[in-house]
Chain A
Amino acid sequence: MAVFTAPKIVSSRSEFADSHTLTRFLATGGFEGLRRALTMYPEAVAAEVDTASLLGRGGAGFPAGRKWSMLRKAPVSYLVINGDESEPATFKDHYLVEREPHQLIEGVTIAAYALQVTQAFIFLRGEFALGLERVQQAINDAYEQGALGSNIFGSGFSLDIVVHPGAGAYICGEETSLIEALEGKRGFPRIKPPFFPAAIGLYGQPTVVNNVETMANLPWIVSHGGAAFAALGLGRSTGTRLFALSGRVNNPGMFELEMAKNTFRDIIFDPALGGGIINNGQVKAFIPGGVSAPWLGPDDLDTPLGQDEVGAKATMLGSGSIVVMDQTTCAVRAAWRITKFFSRESCGQCTPCREGSGWLERIMFRLEHGGGRMEDLDLLMDLCDNIAPGLGWPPQQTTICVLGSSIPSSITSAINMFRDEFYAHVTHDGCPHD
């Protein structure tokens, strides 16, 4: 059974319908973290975050404190917040920007202070029209409160935050692509090395890119201390995390849970959480961390929701979004749709990604809709191998960014786990589920 002992750190106001208002924010401890941070040395604030061992919530799970420490000596830098949230089945940042926008602004201001950065940009997914308005309102409010702009709360520290609307391109969630978009260009990822944002980021300057949820944790960490945060969770997976549950469960939704203390079984079946499978069905497979992650099966349900624990299963916790498939789900159709997503969202720079995703999608389409051939399975695997040689985890790259190497995940998972279903599609000349 699920453990619910941890406090709500980033979704503490979720029970209030007016959680997005300044009034509610101020009534529930708003700006306390920031006020406290401003009484500390910037290094001390960063040290708290380091102590908290806060892992980045954008997908890669890199410790925020460590990322910052690489930059603190650099004289010029920008802070860029990644709110592009487009990884399929992920909807935590959507919640945070629409429902708790002031908390985000507070977190960003704390981070900027710790980094001594005076200009921050929040790159928000363009499809979040309401979120964009709410974050802009929160910025306006913060200016009015003296929590933003010149001489914040009389501390001598100044910061401006600009909300930058995206315009509909998944790849802009990739941090270097996001920087290109912020520079007004097509979202073509840059090649790392040398374009690690920490070295050559926005306008060629050292830049920190952090996820919205990562920022949302900061007010609490500063108020309660990094140690209190680190005391939650297990091992490297400290604190709590927003898990997004969707698919064939009775109660899809977003749940803030202590890291690594609960298992996939807990989140899917606990009555207070997922509430089990629709029509009392069975888990057929689930995706543990966004569609870039290889799938897991019923045998893996007892894996704890922790970074390393999931990593040990040759997949990832990624963006913390779990998609559950049940017996009614066609694995070929699911994998085809995910491949179609990658094909539509490939930026198009790299040949293996641009052409490979399109080719794979066409084959998968044929298998699902008729025209599949037995030899297509080997072809699929070989093409996947050409995109991500060896098909291991983490994948090897032939492309500039990891979108390319993520393409094979769903296809290879589906083939490895449900080869018979592919055969059935071939013999049935289309989807037997239809």
Chain B
Amino acid sequence: MTYFRQDIRLRAQEVVALYPQKRSAMLPLLHLAQEHDGYLTPEGMAEVAELTGTSPAEVRGTASFYDMFHLEPVGTYVVGVCTNIACLLAGGQEMLDHAASTLGCAVGSTSADGMFTLEETECLADCNIAPCVQVNHRFVRTTTPDALDALVDDLRNGRRDEEIPAHGTLIRVRRSGGLRAPADQVANERAVAHRAREERAAQEKK
């Protein structure tokens, strides 16, 4: 019996297989757990612990280090507004204040209808289109209050569903090719290549 849905569990196992050590799958698995529940539930974290061979406390400890992981429920849309230096110079703080009034929730909280969570973010690396706004980690490039309001209206009415999935879903492109080669095969190829290199080096010396 696993807590994750069958499809998530399968993807999780695929992810674990990509790494030489299973703990390495921690962050991708936490993203999956978040896709499963919208945020990190204790059940989800416990399952990640089992999959990565760690303790639940270690999973929680690791997850809570990272801003993208939410240990409490969040809205369907997590709206992030950057107020770091480049955006600050372009009115980021004002945009954040405006977002709070449009969404009806204070920074760091979720709107009453559970639709939106507003976050003040650090630089999102899109500083030429400032102030920068992300919804569920998609760049929406709305730099004016009016554009933001229009976006919120779109979100409320499901007009951006295609482009912006509910919070938690991060990567929708599945890996299609070449799961990690078996370790011994890789080691073998590496040894062969290494030997060839040494031979060549020896020849070149001559």
Q: What residues of chain A have their CB less than 8 Å away from a CB belonging to chain B?
A: 41-43, 75-76, 85-91, 93-94, 116, 118-119, 125-130, 132-134, 136-137, 139-140, 142-144, 148-150, 157-158, 160, 162-170, 181-187, 203, 244-248, 252-254, 287, 291, 321, 323-325, 329, 333-334, 337-338, 341, 344-345, 347
Contacts and interface: CB of A to CB of B under 8 A. Distances in A.
B86 A323 contact: yes
Contact of B28 (A85, A165, A345): A165
Contacts of A119: 20, 180, 186
Contacts of A89: 84-86, 123, 127
A143 B175 CA distance: 10
Count chain B CB atoms within 10 A of each CB in A90, A140, A168, A254 and give the residue with the most: A168
B98 interface: no
A423 to B, nearest CB: 22
A184 B89 contact: no
B136 A149 contact: no
Contacts of B130: 246, 252
Count chain B CB atoms within 10 A of each CB in A118, A127, A130, A347 and give the residue with the most: A127
Contact of A143 (B23, B28, B178, B190): B178
A84 to B, nearest CB: 10
B86 A143 contact: no
7 contacts: A85-B125, A148-B178, A149-B177, A165-B171, A166-B27, A170-B122, A323-B85
Count chain A CB atoms within 10 A of each CB in B23, B121, B124 and give the residue with the most: B124
A129 B136 contact: yes
Nearest to B58: A185
B133 to A, nearest CB: 12
Measured as residues with beta carbon below 8 angstroms from the partner, the interface class of chain B is 35 or more
A337 B85 contact: yes
B25 interface: yes
Contacts of B127: 88-91, 244, 246, 252, 321, 323
Given A130-B138, A150-B178, 19 more contacts: A41-B200, A88-B84, A88-B86, A137-B173, A143-B177, A144-B177, A149-B178, A160-B178, A164-B27, A167-B27, A167-B31, A167-B67, A168-B69, A184-B23, A186-B62, A247-B85, A253-B128, A334-B85, A344-B122
B126 A94 contact: yes
A168 B66 contact: yes
B65 A169 contact: yes
Interface string B52-76: 1010000001110111110000000
Closest 9 CB pairs of A and B: A143-B177, A184-B26, A168-B67, A167-B66, A184-B23, A168-B68, A88-B123, A246-B127, A246-B86
Contact of A126 (B18, B54, B137, B139): B137
Interface in B1-58: 18-28, 30-31, 52, 54
Contacts of A76: 190
Given A125-B125, A160-B178, A181 B27 contact: yes
